[in-house]
A and B are shown apart, each in its own frame.
Chain A
Amino acid sequence: MVEITVLKRPRSEAVETQRKFFKKTARGKVIKVLRERYLRDDVSCGIKGCRECSTPDAEALPEQGDLNHPAFPKGHYILPDTNVFLAQMDLVESPLFNPPMILLQTVMEEVRHRSLPLYNRLKALSKMDEKKIWVFYNEYRSDTAVVRQPEETPNDRNDRGIRKATAWYNSHIKLTRPVVRGQAPPSIPKVVLLTEDAANRQKAESSGISTLSVRKYVESMSNSTQLLDLLASVSEEIEPTKASAGRQALYPEYLPTGTLMAGIKAGELHQGHFNANQYNYLEGSVAVPAFTKPILLIGRENMNRAVNGDIVVVEVFDEKEWKAPADEVIDQDSTLKNDDVEDSGDEGEDEDHQLTAAESKLSRSESRSSEKQPTGRIVGIIKRNWRAYVCHIDSTSLTSSNSTSLSQQTVFVTPVSRLLPRIRIRTRQAPSLIGQKILVTIDRWEVTSRYPEGHFVRALGKAESKEAEQESLLLEFEVPYRPFGKAILDCLPPQGDQWVVPPKSDTSPEWRGREDLRDLLICSIDPPGCQDIDDALHARRLPNGNIEAGVHIADVSHFVHPDTPMDSEAASRGTTVYLVDKRIDMLPALLGTNLCSLRPFVERLAFSAIWELTPEAEIVNVRFTKSVIASKAAFTYEEAQIRKDDPHQQDDLTASIRLLNSLALKLKAQRMAAGALNLASPEVKIHLDSAESSDPIDVEQKEMRETNSLVEEFMLLANISVAKKIEDTFPQTAVLRRHLPPPKTNFEKLQDILMKRKGLKLDVSSSGALAASLDLCLDPSEPAFNTLVRIMATRCMLSAEYFCSGSVGKDTFGHYGLASPIYTHFTSPIRRYADVLAHRQLSAAIGYTPLHPSLHSKSHVDRVLDVVNRRHRMAQMASRASVEFYVGLALKARNEKEQKTLEASGAGNKSKQAAVTEDAFVIRVFKNGVGVFVSKLGIEGLVMFKQETQFDADNYTITIPSADGNATISVFDKVTVRIEVEKDKNTQRGKVKMTLVKPIDSTNL
């Protein structure tokens, strides 16, 4: 059993052992704190062979100290003070710097108060075997403990304590090695105080302690040349430990609401959404109608506590002060990694440095006047758009990572999205949340606090586990994903999946006014595995030589009636969201995948659009009708393609596919002639291992077949025809979709790059001109180049949106990308709510049902479409993010596989890390890195260079010096990158990391 002792502390010692201080809580309450400590004599000095102290040999410092330093021939130990660790951590961490070191408790505690991350580094260092470091608990040893004198600053007290400990060490060593008669006097090694503080040195010298500055000490070391490089260039004096000075405001206060409103009205202030820059956390922008270019906000102060998505009010600076955006990647994680959670008030030195660096770069780029953007600052916030954010805990900000710790800690959490600042939260369960995805909401952001403050909502699960990632995706993009409630399910037909189209009769309500199209040769063509089939097609020759083509859309409005719980739920969901391994339905699965889905061999209700077309695909007439169909087959794109191309297939169904295809080709040609754009977006497909485990095996680019285009053309045709019809009937409230032409300025940068790098011109005067000039953007040596340009052009455009026909001017109805004067969505009512509305309006337009009163109200339609637009955007982002996550998993799987084969093939080159390498295009050049696009994987990445580079912003090139000649990289260059998935040590967040392999290896850059 262990020995249990009661420590005795005589009353007389109370002056030394009790400590009283006052502290102010966050709420401003003053609390008196009384602490005691127990001074002892068994705190070991840590020197090997000491007569009085016992130290385990393995950890002890050598008996003679370090004999290699010329200034101390009899051996020495160094005893650095706090500022050495605060300023010269890199030096101390260097494997070349290894004199035996005494680390005082006072010093450790001071470092801890100044910067937790530094403290953690120091702690790790003191545990390392290679380093000879002994931690001496001077505050607990009765000989070395000091008490703060009245009028003494904490900093002076600590300095005195450090000097006292140094003096004690020197006398302790002398005392424990007495001169023995008849023997040579023992050599006494010295303990040297290292400090950057001149005043402290002076005081030490006056009391007979040998002391040196770090620079002096290192200069006379044998390997000084290498070590001097590591010395941080600090001046002799470092400012003393900041006593908790009053918190000063870091941000300007917002203007009162009245002033803001008046300013906006007068046109002096501008209102808009705040968009953070994902590459540079010190930059953001606000798009306002008054300027063609968005207003640039540079620096934390000008962004004034705005969080991405907030509606803010901006004041624009004088035109003289306008600036261009920085061409640099500034990552908040790496820049602020030594930032301390608790002293939010003071600006960290690191960051100041970074900020000034960033700003000086900015000022340099000012010469490029053409690039200048309106610049301003945020003076007020109209509406915060704060929600719950998915975050990771930053483990270095933890004071105690012990799993049993229950104490409340203030920690940083890093949002998954790069657009958001770090958030500070207080929690009692921080240690158990490390490595988990958690949900955090922001509560407030005070002027005195550099970071917003929030609170922990709940844990989502382990980072990188599929469930947690999936849920975090859905939350991050605000996808409503809860199961349908009972009230909603009660709206389904009571027969459940037994529901069938009743036998044809005049009395049956299902058959009322429906055409019987069950005999037609209708088939559906969809991607493989598609369950919610909402469209089917047919075509047949008419006796007059024309062709009848029909598009049959699932009749969702038969099941989903207005003003029911199911309808309002579908309206609020807006769209079905497709993730790689999950589908979040807009409508309950019974409808989506069964009753509405136009599955083959069963009778289904449909809404049909039937055209009579000439063989040249000119529309003779079109009619819309509710119908009953029985699909004859459900093909995948591939099956349909094979069937069409197989000359042996001569049945009627195949013939009708061929007929459809021939029409589609002509329709497409007509569309292209009208100036439709052929855009591209990086689309990839993830192969999953099996349905259950859903481990990704590989990624491949989506293939486009003729049949894809076949279906697309007929859907476009149907949508356009329906749009015309409903706009005709309901000119005020028709649900339409438009794509505004992009402002010319959006293309300026791309045009400039194309001109300078490839000598190509991009004509953006109209969609037709753009389509034509895009076709000419060819690089004979690089077939993928055209696709790349198309992707980049797509990004310059605005996104399409739903709108209510009465709410905007008729001249803005047009769809830019499709070059159609009018357009709507009609063909996917199972997965898009706008289509349901279009169905209802069309049904009223043909006199089948009366129009529900809500669809006569412009404001109601506007409101619903606002939601649908937002959901639509979010859904797209969510599925993209899901693909990205799986690409990451697939890469990891591929890396592991290659690692295995590498190990199997020979253990010789273990050092060589197996990694996926892919070809990539440079799409952006920054001052300290390049943005690349890997088309094969459909992902974008950043390659960062730590080394100095030459950056030519005008020509979009960057020159990287390397041992074997400089390498110049410019936009559109093809490079090879190595792609690895690495985990962030702090947050356990998986990140795709890319490094250049060709033209030069940037691993060490």
Chain B
Amino acid sequence: MASRVEIINQGGFRSDGRRQFELRNIEIDLSQQGQADGSASVSHGLTQVIVSVFGPREAKIRSHTFHDRANLNVEVSVAAFSTGDRRKRSRGDKRLLEFAATVKSTFEPVVQTNLYPRSQIDIFIHVMQQDGGLLQAGINATTLALMNAGIPMVDFVCAITSGVHSTSPLLDLTTLEENDVPNMTLAMMPKTQKISLVTMETRLHVDRFSEIVKLATQAGLAIHREMKVAIIGRAKVLTESLESGNRQSGSGMEVEEKYE
């Protein structure tokens, strides 16, 4: 382990040159990927996740069919090259199952599943690269992919990891920091500022907790701004191409005819 790195040095810099409340670079790509109904690729710094959403479509398995709502089916796969040591994770990996269950329970109250009875929505999360904040990237990408697929949702879900080093809170942790610092991941809905997920695997002092939650909520709003820009940008591209498609539809017919 890279124990030789200070979490926050005297100058207030973190190991990658950020300060306490600075988030890593966020990149969002919402372009169409393969056959998916909606997809999103989100990266926070060196953590990258691609989510593909299929559905709502007819539920194939009876036990997964609910008469009054759609079933969310979340599956996670981690690329063997996503971490430093190349390692293949099986699909039955308990941590991945837990990860999937966390995402599922985060989105169940947000996605308006009651609009699609007897159907299922498949969410496939592909982890391409890992450097801390995996859950955060996964949730953010899922939000965007669901929206991209046109599935009605109550609100955005914006997730962020935060931790405490000594008494100073940190946002958006890298792997290095995650290994050292007690941390939690929080997902919030920006419109109502409700929290839809808080999860911790380490012990955090109870006195620090409320402070961190407040801070993470603020950070969620910052992430929300980025996501909103990306969604609006994507919508703009789509509507523009829709319009141009309408305009060109006549000529398109002609082309087809030509080939026939």
Residues in chain A within 8 A of chain B (CB atoms) = 1-9, 18, 29, 31-40, 43, 105, 112-113, 123, 126-127, 135, 137, 139-140, 342, 399-400, 402-410
Asked if residues B3 and A400 are in contact (CB atoms below 8 Å), the reply is yes
Contact A407 B10 (CB under 8 A): no
* Contacts known (A404-B181, A404-B182); A7 close to B24, Cβ less than 8 A: yes
Q: Which residues of A contact B221 (CB under 8 A)?
A: 4
Taking the closest CB of chain A, its distance from the CB of B183, in whole angstroms, is 9
Known: A402-B7, A404-B182, A408-B3. A6 touches B166 (CB 8 A): no
Partner of A1 from the list B4, B182, B218 (CB cut-off 8 Å) is B218
Residue numbers in B under 8 Å from A38 (CB-CB): 16-18, 22, 24-25
Question: Which residues of chain B are near A123, meaning CB under 8 Å?
Answer: 10
The answer on a CB contact under 8 Å between B45 and A36 is yes
Q: Across the interface, do A407 and B3 meet the contact criterion of CB distance under 8 Å?
A: yes
Contact of A137 among B11, B21, B214, B215 (CB under 8 A): B11
Assess A6 versus B25: contact at CB under 8 Å? Given A404-B164, A407-B3: yes
Known pairs A4-B219, A35-B15, A402-B7; list 18 more (Cβ under 8 Å): A1-B214, A2-B215, A3-B21, A4-B23, A4-B215, A5-B22, A32-B85, A35-B16, A36-B45, A38-B25, A137-B9, A137-B17, A342-B4, A400-B6, A404-B164, A406-B179, A407-B3, A408-B3
**Interface-centre pick from A3, A7, A34, A126 (highest chain B CB count, 10 A):** A7
B181:A5 contact, CB within 8 angstroms: no
Q: Which 6 pairs across A and B sit closest by C-beta, in order of nearness?
A: A407-B180, A140-B17, A9-B25, A31-B84, A38-B17, A37-B17
Residues of B within 8 A of A43 (CB): 11
Judge whether A407 and B222 touch: CB under 8 Å. no
In the assembled complex, the CB of B31 is this many whole angstroms from the nearest CB of chain A, namely: 16
Closest CB-CB distance, B244 to chain A, in whole Å? 28
CA distance A403 to B131 in the complex (A): 24
Note all chain A residues with C-beta closer than 8 A to B131: 34, 36
A11 nearest in chain B by CB position = B27
Interface residues of B in 46-91 (CB under 8 A from A): 46, 84-85
Closest residue of chain B to A8 (Cβ to Cβ) is B25
A403 to B182, CA, bound (A): 11
Q: Please state if A31 and B85 are interface contacts (CB–CB under 8 Å).
A: yes
Residues of the B chain whose Cβ atoms lie less than 8 Å from the Cβ of A29: 85
A37 to B46, CA, bound (A): 10
CB pair A5 B10 closer than 8 Å: no
Q: A5-B22, A34-B84 are in contact. Are A113 and B4 (CB under 8 A)?
A: yes
Binary contact readout B105-141 vs A (1 if CB under 8 angstroms, 0 otherwise): 0000000000000000000000001010000000000
Interface membership of B100, Cβ < 8 A: no
Residue total for B at the interface (Cβ-Cβ under 8 A): 45
Q: Could you tell me the distance between the alpha carbons of A450 and B2 in the complex, rounded to whole angstroms?
A: 21
**Which residues from chain B contact A137 at a C-beta distance below 8 Å?**
9, 11, 13, 17
Chain A residues whose C-beta falls within 8 Å of the C-beta of B11 in the assembled complex = 43, 105, 135, 137
CB of B89 to closest CB in A, whole Å: 16
**Are A399 and B4 also in contact (CB < 8 A) when A2-B21, A407-B179 are?**
yes
Cα of A127 to Cα of B9 in the assembled complex, Å: 12
Closest to A19 in B: B16
Partner of A135, one of B10, B46, B180, B222: B10
Which residues of A sit under 8 angstroms from B15, Cβ to Cβ?
35
- B199 at interface by CB-CB < 8 Å: no
Q: How far is the CA of A405 from the CA of B5 in the complex (A)?
A: 12
22 sampled A-B residue pairs with Cβ under 8 A: A2-B21, A3-B21, A4-B23, A4-B218, A4-B221, A6-B24, A7-B23, A8-B25, A32-B84, A35-B15, A38-B24, A123-B10, A127-B10, A135-B10, A135-B11, A137-B11, A140-B17, A342-B4, A404-B166, A406-B180, A406-B181, A406-B182
> Which chain A residue lies CB-closest to B130?
A34
Please, how many angstroms separate the alpha-carbon atoms of A325 and B206 in the complex?
A: 59
- For the complex formed, measure the closest distance between the CB of A150 and the CB atoms of chain B, giving whole angstroms: 21
How far, in angstroms, from A40 to B11 measured CA to CA in the complex? 14
Q: Mark B171-186, 1 if CB is under 8 A from A, else 0.
A: 1000000011110000
Residues of A within 8 A of B4 (CB): 112-113, 342, 399
**Distance A2 CA – B9 CA, assembled complex (angstroms):** 19
Q: In whole Å, how far is A328's beta carbon from the nearest beta carbon of chain B?
A: 35
B96 surroundings in chain A (CB, below 8 A): none
The smallest beta-carbon distance between A145 and chain B, in angstroms, is 9
What are the residues of chain B within 8 A of A18 when measuring CB–CB? 46
Which B positions have Cβ atoms within 8 angstroms of A?
1-4, 6-7, 9-11, 13, 15-18, 20-26, 45-46, 84-85, 129, 131, 164-166, 171, 179-182, 202, 205, 214-215, 218-219, 221-223, 226
State whether A400 touches B7 (Cβ < 8 A). Answer: yes
Q: How far is the CB of B119 from chain A (nearest CB, A)?
A: 36
- Given the complex of chains A and B, what is the CA–CA distance between A116 and B76 in angstroms? 41
Q: Shortest CB–CB separation between residue B228 and chain A, in angstroms?
A: 13
Do A403 and B166 touch across chains, with their CB atoms under 8 A apart?
A: yes
Is A139 in contact with B17, judged by CB distance below 8 angstroms? yes
Closest Cβ–Cβ distance, residue A147 to chain B (whole Å): 14
Contact of B222 among A5, A105, A126, A400 (CB under 8 A): A5
Q: In the complex, A229→B134 CA distance in Å?
A: 56
Interchain CA distance A409-B26 in the complex, whole Å: 32
Instruction: Count chain B CB atoms within 10 A of each CB in A4, A18, A36, A39 and give the residue with the most.
Output: A4
Q: Which residue of A lies closest to B216 (CB)?
A: A4
Given A1-B218, A2-B215, A36-B16, also A405-B23 (CB < 8 A): no
B84: chain A residues at CB < 8 Å are 31-34
CB-nearest residue of chain A relative to B8? Answer: A402
Q: CB-CB < 8 A to B165: which residues of A?
A: 402, 404-405
B17 contacts A40, C-beta separation under 8 Å:
yes
Specify which chain B residues have a CB less than 8 angstroms from the CB of A37 in the assembled complex: 16-17
Q: How far is the CA of A139 from the CA of B226 in the complex (A)?
A: 28
Once the chains are docked, how many angstroms separate the CA of A705 from the CA of B85? 75
- With A34-B46, A135-B11 in contact, is A406–B202 under 8 Å at CB? yes
Question: Which of B9, B26, B164, B165: most chain A CB closer than 10 A?
Answer: B9
Question: How far, in whole Å, are A33 and B223 apart by their CA atoms in the complex?
Answer: 27
Bound: A482/B226 CA distance, A: 63
Query: Which residues of chain B are within 8 angstroms of A139 by Cβ–Cβ distance?
Result: 17
In the bound complex, how far is the Cα of B2 from the Cα of A36, in angstroms?
14
Task: Name the CB-closest residue of A to B219.
Answer: A4
CB distance from B208 to the nearest CB of A (A): 9
**B-chain residues with CB within 8 Å of residue A3 when the two chains form the complex:** 21
Contact status of A39 and B181, CB under 8 A, knowing A4-B222, A405-B7: no
Distance between Cα atoms of A405 and B166 in the complex (Å): 8
Q: Are B10 and A6 in contact (CB under 8 A)?
A: no
| A39 to B218 Cα, complex, angstroms | 24
B25 touches A7 (CB 8 A): yes
CB closest residue in chain A, given B215: A2
Tell whether, in the assembled complex, residue B17 and residue A400 are in contact, meaning their CB atoms are under 8 Å apart.
no
CA A43 to CA B6, docked complex, whole Å: 18
Task: A105 to B12: give the CA distance in the assembly, Å.
Answer: 12
The residue in chain A whose Cβ has the minimal distance to the Cβ of B226 is A6
Q: Which of B1, B10, B181 contacts A408 (CB 8 A)?
A: B1
CB-CB nearest in chain A for B179:
A407
Q: How far is the CA of A140 from the CA of B8 in the complex (A)?
A: 13
Alpha-carbon gap, A113 to B202, bound state (A):
28
Given contacts A34-B84, A404-B166, contact A126 B10 (CB under 8 A): yes
Question: CA separation between A18 and B171, bound complex, in Å?
Answer: 20
> What residue of chain B has the Cβ atom nearest to residue A145's Cβ?
B17
Report the Cα distance A43→B11, complex, angstroms: 9
Closest A residue, CB atoms, query B85: A31
Looking at B85, B129, B164, B205, the one whose CB has the most chain A CB atoms below 10 A away is B85
Task: Determine how close the nearest CB of chain B comes to the CB of A430; give it in whole angstroms.
Answer: 10
Of the candidates A3, A36, A408, the one having the most CB atoms from chain B within 10 angstroms of its own CB is: A36
Q: Are A5 and B23 in contact (CB under 8 A)?
A: yes
- Nearest Cβ in chain A — how far from B180, in angstroms? 4
CB < 8 Å neighbour of B1 from A7, A112, A127, A407: A407
B166→A36 contact, CB < 8 A: no
| Least CB separation from B129: chain A residue | A34
**How far does the alpha carbon of A18 sit from the alpha carbon of B181 in the complex, in Å?**
23
Report yes or no: B21 in contact with A400, Cβ–Cβ below 8 A: no
